[in-house]
Amino acid sequence: YAERLGAKLAAQFKGTKVECVVGPALGGIIVAHEVARALGVRGAAESAPLERPGVVGQYVNGLYDTPTGGILDREMINLPAWTAIQLEMDGCALNLTGTEREDYTRVLDMQRGVLRQSARWLTPDHKEVTLHSERFVSMARPHLAAIRWQLEAGADCTITIRSAIDSAVTNRFADGHFAQVSCAAGDRGCSVEVTTIEPGYRAIVAAAHALADATSEVVWRGETTPQRAATHFSFTLHAGQPVTMTKFVAVYDSRFSTGDLAALARSDLEAAQVAAYDALLTEHVARWADLWAASDVTIVGDDKAQVALRFCLFHLLANLPHSDEVSVSARGLQGQDYWGSIFWDCEVYVLPFFAYTQPDYARRSLLYRYHTLDGARRKADTGQKIRSYFADEQIHISADVVYALWRYVQASGDWAFMAECGAEIACEVARFLVSRVTYNAALGRYELHTVLGPDEYHERVDNNAYTNALARTCLDVALAALDRLRWEQAAALEHLRAKIGLTAAEIDGWRAVAARLYVPAPDPDTGLIPQFDGYFALEDAPPEVVRTRLAHPDLHPGGPLGPYQTTQSIKQADVVLLTYLLRDQYSLAEKLANWHYYEPRTAHDSSLSPMAYALVAADAGLTDWAYRYFLHTAMIDLLGTGPHWNLGVHTAALGGAWQTVVQGFCQVDLREEGVSLRVWPRLPATWSQVSFGFFWHGCHVYLTADHQHVDLRAESGPVQVFYPGGQAELQAGQSIVLPYTD
């Protein structure tokens, strides 16, 4: 009954996790639902100008618009700005660019998920005003956000606050995304409702205000323009008597909510005002505490690495998908670069973090791929062009999804997902890949021609090692899933075969291709893997030399017109990434050989590249190199590295930093049979200890490692643990200390 009720409630509360548990002591059903944050807001100051591109942004995961119908115009929508607040003292505007500003600080409290700012102004007539600002987007109430201002003056003055919601926001690629804008304002609140151009989503951003501790009369008034709604209030701020202004904000949209959006927003705002700011902050912080308890990594002895890694984890957790109809885009909810697209970056680099520490959200990301499968089938049937001009060659991205879902099932034990959704994804991708193979009769093998591997500077190559190896892995996964269904869930297998028209002859064809699909093997003498056919015959020129051959810096470096196509210099990790993803298929000597060969020939013109070199360096015992590339990856957004630094975080790099610590330095691998320590952890010299938790098949395990021992503790169990030279079974509440041995 609990399962049936849970299914019913899950359908009712779309995009939420619903758990129903029978409580025998209570004699009833306990129902709880949990939602992740759908809204992301950039950390710009409240007075930041809206017209400056890439500064002020607020995004809902899953809201896209195509204003002109052109595929390159489709991007994630920048919603009306609700952080906009302007401050005046005695008629003088106080902002961060004025000459009166004396001091300004901005702090992101990653533990609590709160942005704090402080500013102090000294006007020409020597009046001093101090502002302390605090804001958060609620992790407990997914449609709600709040800002609190605390103002204090050194002398009596007149304060005017103009708090607005403004639809005149900038976008990355399109000029605008709103076909209709409706603004409303009253004494204490304001709202802006918009309708997008295509497909016509409706969204409302509404605000309510409160002012506390004011000892003089407050004059309130509302004001609207065609694009902006604002609440203005003026009062006398007496010397030494602080005043607090609170702005509650609710955001709803028609894709993920049904009914009267304005009424829903109004209800949330009323509830927020009843609860008050401190209570909302408390429940928000408690939700963050739960997330950190499952996902934190503690590094002892290296503050730089610790801060950088927690910065990565904070943004990954802030991007948890709120629905199984969305996933994590390449720039998360912090910017519109890459149009808000969801790339293979997510499956290869971000999903492992979710699978190990937030498995429910890993499942949601994979369900997003399942829900978009029909769209992929339509594109395949009609030959519809996709956004990237060379993506018809980059077929490895489909195999990457299958690789990721298989790794998720191994870590989580969620065979139900494989039976209900994963097997269908794997079979359709297998079908697609088999349609792309060419049989080489002279060599008696199947090959993949005219492809593009992860190195996007070499187009239209044959037998890219990464692509072929991942394609064979995909076929193996599809066949293994079908075999298991045949033995354990025959009815599910028959349903799948009927749904997608899968015949025994087609399955036999997949087996034949999988058995004879050519995957370039390491040379028996050198251990080197050719990135693709003819790679080693290309000119061996280093990236810094090849880059000088560009006719213009804005031209694409690769492809038939780019200088990289005819050289061995590559954009990003390709073969090296392969030796990590399929790490058990390559020896230590082969990993070392390929790492040392490809490393000086890699331009690292992608944020996906340094982490791959870090991971393989950690696997191969090159710990110092792994640490260098780990820091490069973990700090890419903190340092603003690269030309796109202000257009959103690099979610793949964030996930890659976590992988380098957990799967690289500490060598943790979650498999169907249990938790595996592939080799003993190899920590950077400056780290005295590292600790983190993860889930294996629903059991929570906590690991602490130093340079001599690894401590494993199971908070639930039993858990099989495999380590160099032995294995053990951990029961709930049990721990073991394993000294490193040769």
- By annotation, the residues acting in catalysis are 456
Cα 164–Cα 169–Cα 172 angle in degrees, nearest 5: 155
Cα–Cα distance for residue pair 288/314, rounded to 1 Å: 9
Cα–Cα distance for residue pair 616/618, rounded to 1 Å: 5
Phi and psi angles of residue 14, each rounded to the nearest 5 degrees, phi first: -60, 135
Q: What is the CA radius of gyration of the chain?
A: 28
Phi and psi angles of residue 64, each rounded to the nearest 5 degrees, phi first: -125, 160
DSSP strand pairing (202-212 vs 243-253)? antiparallel
| Paired residues of 231 in beta bridges | 163, 222
* Helical pair 465-488 and 504-516, crossing angle rounded to 10 deg: 140
- Cβ atoms < 10 Å from Cβ of 371: 15
CA dihedral 505, 508, 509, 512 (to 10 degrees): -160
Secondary element (H or E) of residue 247: strand 243-253
CA dihedral 263, 266, 267, 273 (to 10 degrees): 180
DSSP strand pairing (101-109 vs 92-94)? unpaired
For residues 666 and 681, the answer to whether their CB atoms sit within 8 Å is yes
Instruction: Return the HEC string of 646-697.
Output: CCCCCHHHHHHHHHHHHHHHCCEEEECCEEEECCCCCCCCCCCEEEEEEEEC
Cα–Cα distance for residue pair 296/292, rounded to 1 Å: 5
**Is cis: bond before 718, omega within 30 of 0?**
yes
Cα 425–Cα 426–Cα 428 angle in degrees, nearest 5: 65
- Cβ atoms < 10 Å from Cβ of 643: 7
Cα 8–Cα 10–Cα 12 angle in degrees, nearest 5: 70
Cα–Cα distance for residue pair 583/155, rounded to 1 Å: 68
Cα–Cα distance for residue pair 303/296, rounded to 1 Å: 15
Q: Which two tokens stand for residue 380?
A: 């395949």
Cα–Cα distance for residue pair 154/169, rounded to 1 Å: 35
Cα–Cα distance for residue pair 591/578, rounded to 1 Å: 10
Distances in whole angstroms, Cα of residue 685 to Cα of each of 625, 628, 635: 12, 12, 19
Q: Which 8-state DSSP code applies to residue 712?
A: E
End-to-end CA distance of the chain: give it in Å, rounded: 53
Burial class of residue 726 in the structure, from the number of CB atoms within 10 Å of its CB (0-12 exposed, 13-18 middle, 19+ buried):
exposed
